[in-house]
Amino acid sequence: MKAAAFDLVRPRTVADALAALADGARPLAGGQSLGPMLNFRLATPERLADIRTLAALRAHAETDDTITWGAAVTHAEVEDGRVPDPTGGTLRAIAGHIAYRAVRNRGTVGGSLAHADPAADWISALTALGGSVRIAGPEGEREEALTGWMSGAFATQLAEGELLLSVTIPRPRPGARLAYRKLCRKEGEFAMAIAAVLDDPARAIRRVVVGATDGAPIIAEGADAGPRAHAAIDAWPGEAWKARLLHVSLDRALGDIAA
Amino acid sequence: MTTLTVNGIETTLDVPPRTHLADALRETLGLTGTHLGCEHGVCGACTVELDGSPARACIAFAAACAGAVVRTIEGFEYDSVMAELRAAFTAHHALQCGYCTPGMLITARDIVLRIPGADEARVRRELAGNLCRCTGYQGIVDAILAVLAARRG
Amino acid sequence: MADGGSGKGVGARLPRKEDDRFLRGKGRFVADIRIPGMREVAFLRGPIAHARIGAITVPEAHRAAVFTASDLTDVAPIRAYSGLKGFRRSDQPVLATGKVRHVGEAVAMIVAATRAEAEDIAGLIDIAWEPLPALVDMAEARATTTRVHEEWPDNIVLETFVDDDLSDIAATAPIVIRRSLRTARQCMSPIEGRGVVAEWDGRLDQLVMWSSAQMPHITRSGLSECLGLDHGQIRVISPDVGGGFGYKGILLPEEVALGWLARRIGAPVRWIEDRFEQLSANANCREHAYELTAYADGEGTLLALDCEAMVDAGAYSSYPFSACLEAAQIASILPGPYRFGRYRCRTFSVATNKPPILPYRGVARTGVCYAIETVMDAIAEATGIDIETVRQRNLVRSEEMPYTNVTNKVFDSGDYPEALRRAAAALDIPTLRAQQASETGPVRTGVGLSIFCEQGAHGTAVYHGWGIPMVPGHEQAQARLTPDGVLELRIGAHSHGQGMETSLAQVAHTILGINPAAVRLVHGDTALTPYSTGTWGSRSAVMSGGAVAAACETLAKRIAAIGAHLLQAEAGSVRVEDGSVVAPGGASVTLREVAHTWYRAPQLLPRDVDPAGLDVTAGYKPLSDGGTFSYAAHACAVTVDTETGFVTLGRYVIAEDGGVCLNPMIVDGQVLGGTAQGIGTALYEEMPYDGEAQPLAASLADYLLPGAGEIPRIAIEHMETPSPLTRFGQKGIGESGAIGPPAAIANAVNDALRPLGARVDALPITPRRILEALARAGR
């Protein structure tokens, strides 16, 4: 199938982009998720605003405590270490297993967070790290913690007319570990189960995120986050074999932390 | 109107925004070496080089590629790495129907240049985004490994 | 066979002549064809599996762009009958008429300047649907009063029965095995979909159609029947074909529709199938169900086999193979390479509201191999005999060849036990058994074997027996020397990746000594090639290879006669070799000189020259219509992660005998590629349907095709037993690789699960099926 007709605008600045969004445009970043939806006519926007090359969204920045990636940083840039990785390599490795290289070259971190596919990687991994997103909208800019970001499959706190600018990731302290387990049979396939566990003793943080749940991820925090996440999987309404995979991914991620 | 560089030539395309890059290359410019297999970014038949890296031409929209530098299989006619890959693909029987081949070659060239130390497992992983239904991949993997080995000397 | 030492003849691993154009993006596939003024077609396809079509409302502005069944009044439906007793005929309308019988059936044809605009118009058409109950499962379709075709008494396309009284064996056999097996509906998924370009040539009063087709001559015959045109009014050209596997071995409703449309609107038209159409409307193969009862003695000898098999044939009977070939073949080939003597098999081809079934690479063989090899492992388990020995006790032996089996198949040649021995030895089963014995954790090793033989290149008598619209006869080839000494070969079969431009040039080289670089193969054009049923059923190496050899042999005689005259030698004394005619004393003239003489300097020809010249048409049939039987043993190791249900393939070995290989490199490629497809069948590929017969995998993110990471390195052990039936001893082998993997892999997975008390009895073997089997076993 071919996409339904749409207009394309190419704003030069965030302000232009917001004006376009206020005018009804939908943001188009790398297009690696939106492109197929357009071709399937599952998405039929009248207007798209191409934000992929906006300088503000392409930037990255570091402080002593955080790292910030612009929303249009690509998975490949993370994979290749062209932007800093606060975990010392785990995020690079995660990036390297998102879809395929040709998709990673175009697909963006912000696009993935905004698209909010439950089986996508960044939602789970960056939520476990305590990440937050910066959003620009008609009322100005605001921050949202990723822990409350998804309200369901493909549903987030991003409102109509708003633009995701960047994601900020707190630097884990020395001695912290991020474990990430994704179960999929085929390289590039959408995950059947995801578990991300951050253990940061210096900050007294233990955060568990279970993804690929067909909805918002399961999030548990605190010393007993693991058992509580397992209990949440037990209460999860999906099929038993899929729940088993969620349990297994979680066990393995917790095992990585303990190892 | 969208202006971009295709195989070294600055080109102006007059296509509606909904036209994806592969259709623009094929239908407007006659560059039919870029093949369409799925039009949803999975099969890899339409892989081209876009701003120096492999990308799916079926889910990039031509109008969003203004200013971009695009290389299709036809643009690698005199590329020395591609020449090595072509010879290796023939020697290792890495193609049968030939439909996935242009996209496969563009991915293969990226592997050779980006990951010179790639072993078989890595080559197979990197090929995940290019489906071939004919060869069972063994010839493709062997051809790429042969080029990698030759370049390592 | 030696290739004469030149490295270019039959038996040589000659690099392929066709590669260069594909490696430069210069292949020409149907979607690459441009005709000035060409318009684009999209089809509006029914979104419901079973529904009556009420009013179709087309916006006034687009009336002229939209065509439905009510416009195609002068087009006959596609009608693929079978002469088998009891076969129920059904018509497949070119555009749905009255009702739709599967999701994706074309209801309207829309023509516009671009495909996107045609799809825009399709979105504006309103159809008043009256939904009917959808038949999604073949067992349910046998029981219900709902009919796919109202005029039928039930939903059975064909029932076949091979009868034998097994009661004495059933009463006494010490081992009785029962298994219920299912295989999934699949989509063949060539990377290039189907596609059609059609143009009416007013000067020639002829429809010219480019179609990505395996059987262009059969397409032409079908078009003739549906469009009411004589064959001379139709030319079908199949350009480079981006994979076939059976998917393009069919007369398409879209071909008929575009053929009609091009003439109607007086403009060239094009339809290119997209992946969504392919997956949603054309998951059309492989779905079988088996109820097996096997009887064996305590030594593991199979005494008798009793089977009831069903095939989900879908909604229509596809042209030319019909809706019953698959199930009827199950009955005839289930016994596999084994030599038991008592056999009962009842089969049902069942109509459902799913796409009409087509023969996919391996056809019924993939399913029956899975069935019989499951039985063999069950006998091994019941008797405590190892999996190789139990098979060795039942295989047809080499000294019994040619062997007529329980269904009267005549196996031409080979050493089946040796293939199994080699595959098993290369796998090193004792080491794997030791590994298994040490395993206590969640990851378990399994070992699996399968062995099969594959009938290929079967001909007139066999297909006359099926009584379908297509009966292959003599395969013809034309060999023509051009004035400058190039050899043009013309065949009616067609490549969709098999490399015939190379392998048939090797055949010509073997006969004429001509350099394969100076041989050009013309195929895929009904105007330029002799009639042929095309490329299907692992037949082209045997049939076209034999025909090209025959044509070249006749051509060689004519060349020799002219050459001898030019050399002033006795006609019978010269040899044609190395591209020349050579006299006993060593004097020679080249083929180019001979050709130049015939065409450009006829004054130099001998007075008694054969006036047919250097242009030969020859026909060929093997010595028997029964076909060649290539065979292979597959042996594999797997590991099963019993926590996740993930299966990882370990060592994978194939011992393969395709007789004499025209080009062993190409044969290996066929085996490797087929095996990858078989691995897809075993582990990944499934089109699930919901209760309304809606296909649930709409993209390749849902319908999983194996990638490079899912296919292990495969080792091939070569055997080469010539067929006594064919020109060079070659056998058909194109489908072989796709047959063995599901059986070997399923056996290996179940071997790994056996200590846990779990077993999977359905394909593909997904994590869900493994985890559910483990859950049933209390794990």
Residues in chain B with CB shorter than 8 Å from the CB of A32 are 41, 56, 59
CA neighbours closer than 13 Å in the CB half-sphere of residue C250: 27
Interface probe, candidates A101, A104, A187, chain B, greatest B C-beta count within 10 A: A101
In terms of Cβ atoms closer than 10 Å to its own Cβ (0-12, 13-18, 19+), residue C575 is: middle
Nearest to B134 by CA among C184, C672, A171, C18: C672
Q: What is the DSSP letter of C705?
A: P
Tell me the average pLDDT across C479-489. Answer: 97
pLDDT in tens, C399-458: 999 999 999 999 999 999 999 999 999 999 999 999 999 999 999 999 999 999 999 999
Cα radius of gyration (chain A): 18
Domain's final residue, options C246, C281, C316: C281
Nearest residue in chain B measured CA to CA from A51: B64
Asked if residues A166 and A95 have their Cβ atoms less than 8 Å apart, the reply is no
Asked if residues C632 and C677 have their Cβ atoms less than 8 Å apart, the reply is no
Q: Is B52 on the interface with A (CB under 8 A)?
A: no
Residues in chain B with CB shorter than 8 Å from the CB of A102 are 44, 47, 53-56, 107, 129
Contact A186 C707 (CB under 8 A): yes
Give me the residue label for tokens 């190039």: C486
Q: State how far the Cα of C191 lies from the Cα of C40, in Å rounded to an integer.
A: 21
Tell me the average pLDDT across B57-63. Answer: 98
Contact C645 A40 (CB under 8 A): no
Contact A8 B54 (CB under 8 A): no
CB within 8 A of A238, min separation 6: which ones? A213, A214
CATH code, C70: 3.90.1170.50
How far does A47 lie from chain C, in Å, by closest CA?
Answer: 17
Name beta bridge partners: C131: C51
* Chains contacting A (3+ CB pairs below 8 angstroms): B, C
Q: State how far the Cα of C445 lies from the Cα of C425, in Å rounded to an integer.
A: 17
Strands C475-481 and C615-620: antiparallel
Q: Is A237 on the interface with C (CB under 8 A)?
A: no
Residues in chain A with CB shorter than 8 Å from the CB of B64 are 8, 10, 28, 31, 50, 52
Residue pairs between chains A and C whose CB atoms are closer than 8 Å: 61
| Widest pairwise Cα distance in chain B | 48
pLDDT in tens, C609-655: 999 999 999 999 999 999 999 999 999 999 999 999 999 999 999 99
Q: State how far the Cα of A209 lies from the Cα of A258, in Å rounded to an integer.
A: 16
Per-domain boundaries in chain A: 7-50, 56-170, 177-258
Domain's final residue, options C620, C648, C680: C620
pLDDT in tens, C554-611: 999 999 999 999 999 998 999 999 899 999 999 999 999 999 999 999 999 999 999 9
First to last CA, chain B: 47
Same domain for C297 and C251: no
Amino acid occupying residue C609? V
In terms of Cβ atoms closer than 10 Å to its own Cβ (0-12, 13-18, 19+), residue C394 is: buried
Same domain for C367 and C443: yes
* Long-range CB contact pairs, C554-559, < 8 A, 24+: C554/C479, C554/C616, C554/C618, C555/C479, C555/C481, C555/C512, C555/C614, C555/C616, C556/C511, C556/C512, C558/C610, C558/C612, C558/C613, C558/C614, C558/C616, C559/C481, C559/C512, C559/C591, C559/C594, C559/C614
Residue C182 pLDDT: 98
Residue C6 pLDDT: 86
Nearest residue in chain A measured CA to CA from C42: A1
Q: Read off the tokens for C552.
A: 């070249």
Just give the CATH number of A56-170. Answer: 3.30.465.10
Q: Is C636 on the interface with B (CB under 8 A)?
A: no
How far does B38 lie from chain A, in Å, by closest CA?
Answer: 9
pLDDT in tens, C9-49: 999 999 999 999 999 999 999 999 999 999 999 999 999 99
Concatenated DSSP letters for C632-660? EEEEEEEEEETTTTEEEEEEEEEEEE-BS
Residues in chain A with CB shorter than 8 Å from the CB of C704 are 185-186, 189
What is the percentage of chain C residues whose pLDDT exceeds 70? Answer: 99
Contact C23 B86 (CB under 8 A): yes
Domain's final residue, options C117, C133, C149: C133
Domain region containing C654: 288-460+624-776
Q: What is the DSSP letter of C99?
A: E
The mean pLDDT value of chain C amounts to 97
Domain with CATH 1.10.150.120 in chain B: 80-152
pLDDT-wise least confident of A93-97, B25-29, C462-466: C462-466
- A199-228: buried (b, 16+ CB within 10 Å) or exposed (e) per residue? bbeeeebbbbbbbbbebbbbbbbeeebbeb
Asked if residues B20 and B60 have their Cβ atoms less than 8 Å apart, the reply is yes
Q: State how far the Cα of C737 lies from the Cα of C756, in Å rounded to an integer.
A: 31
Q: State how far the Cα of B17 lies from the Cα of B62, in Å rounded to an integer.
A: 7
Q: State how far the Cα of C169 lies from the Cα of C294, in Å rounded to an integer.
A: 10
Residue A98 pLDDT: 97
CB atoms within 10 A of CB C83: 11
Q: Is B28 on the interface with C (CB under 8 A)?
A: no
Nearest to C349 by CA among C648, C86, C130, C693: C86
Give me the residue label for tokens 């030696």: C2
CB atoms within 10 A of CB A158: 19
How far does C596 lie from chain A, in Å, by closest CA?
Answer: 53
Q: Read off the tokens for C687.
A: 């089109």
Q: Is B89 on the interface with C (CB under 8 A)?
A: yes
Q: How far is CA C146 from the centre of its chain?
A: 32
- C40-71: buried (b, 16+ CB within 10 Å) or exposed (e) per residue? bbbbbbbebbbbebeebebeeebeebbbbbee
* Residues of chain A that touch chain B, judged by Cβ-Cβ distance less than 8 Å: 1-8, 10, 28, 31-32, 35-36, 38-40, 48, 50, 52, 76, 99-103, 105-106, 186-188
Give me the residue label for tokens 């969504």: C276
* Chains contacting C (3+ CB pairs below 8 angstroms): A, B
How far does A250 lie from chain C, in Å, by closest CA?
Answer: 12
Residue C762 pLDDT: 98
Which of C22, C274, C708 lies closest to B128 in CB terms? C708
Q: Is A101 on the interface with C (CB under 8 A)?
A: no
CATH of A177-258, one of 3.30.9.10, 3.40.50.300, 3.40.720.10, 3.30.390.50: 3.30.390.50
What is the percentage of chain C residues whose pLDDT exceeds 90? Answer: 98
CB within 8 A of C269, min separation 6: which ones? C38, C39, C40, C41, C111, C197, C198, C199, C258, C261, C262
Q: State how far the Cα of C560 lies from the Cα of C512, in Å rounded to an integer.
A: 10
Interface probe, candidates B61, B107, B114, B144, chain A, greatest A C-beta count within 10 A: B61
Q: State how far the Cα of A214 lies from the Cα of A119, in Å rounded to an integer.
A: 7
Q: Read off the tokens for B62.
A: 């031509």
Is C539 contained in some domain? yes
Q: Is B96 on the interface with C (CB under 8 A)?
A: yes
CATH code, C234: 3.30.365.10
Nearest residue in chain A measured CA to CA from C706: A186
Give me the residue label for tokens 């449309």: C261
Residues in chain C with CB shorter than 8 Å from the CB of A244 are 643, 771, 775
Same domain for C365 and C351: yes
Same domain for C238 and C129: no
Same domain for C629 and C616: no
Same domain for C333 and C438: yes
Strand order in the sheet with B9-13: B9-13, B2-6, B69-71, B47-50, B53-56
pLDDT in tens, C219-246: 999 999 999 999 999 999 999 999 999 9
Contact A3 C775 (CB under 8 A): no
Same domain for C669 and C563: no
Asked if residues B31 and B98 have their Cβ atoms less than 8 Å apart, the reply is no
Contact A186 C710 (CB under 8 A): yes
pLDDT at C711 over 70: yes
Residues in chain A with CB shorter than 8 Å from the CB of B66 are 10
Strands C39-45 and C269-272: parallel
Q: Domain B80-152 in CATH: superfamily?
A: [2Fe-2S]-binding domain (1.10.150.120)
- C518-542: buried (b, 16+ CB within 10 Å) or exposed (e) per residue? bbebebbbbeebbbbbbbbbbbbbb
Is C167 contained in some domain? no
pLDDT per residue as tens, chain A (259 positions): 999 999 999 999 999 999 999 999 999 999 999 999 999 999 999 999 999 999 999 999 999 999 999 999 999 999 999 999 999 999 999 999 999 999 999 999 999 999 999 999 999 999 999 999 999 999 999 999 999 999 999 999 999 999 999 999 999 999 999 999 999 999 999 999 999 999 999 999 999 999 999 999 999 999 999 999 999 999 999 999 999 999 999 999 999 999 9
Number of domains in chain C: 4
Same domain for C298 and C277: no
Residue C4 pLDDT: 62
pLDDT at C1 over 60: no
Cα radius of gyration (chain C): 27
pLDDT at C3 over 60: no
Is C10 contained in some domain? no
Q: Is C607 on the interface with B (CB under 8 A)?
A: no
Concatenated DSSP letters for A227-250? HHHHHHHHH--S-HHHHHHHHHHH
Contact C706 A186 (CB under 8 A): yes
Same domain for C354 and C206: no
Residue C558 pLDDT: 97
Contact A241 C772 (CB under 8 A): yes
The SS3 assignment for C350 reads: strand
Just give the CATH number of B2-76. Answer: 3.10.20.30
**Orientation angle between helical segments A225-235 and A240-258, nearest 10 degrees:** 170
Q: Is B134 on the interface with C (CB under 8 A)?
A: yes
Same domain for C224 and C76: no
Q: Read off the tokens for C350.
A: 């069942």
Q: State how far the Cα of C357 lies from the Cα of C432, in Å rounded to an integer.
A: 39
Just give the CATH number of A7-50. Answer: 3.30.43.10
Q: State how far the Cα of C129 lies from the Cα of C123, in Å rounded to an integer.
A: 15
Quote the strand ranges of A80-233, DSSP E: 132-137, 140-145, 150-152, 155-156, 163-170, 177-183, 193-200, 205-211, 218-221
Contact A4 C767 (CB under 8 A): no
Which of C16, C496, C699 lies closest to B90 in CB terms? C16
Same domain for C267 and C338: no
pLDDT in tens, C763-772: 999 999 999 9
ipTM metric: 0.98
Q: Is C25 on the interface with B (CB under 8 A)?
A: yes
Residue C2 pLDDT: 44
Same domain for C453 and C530: no
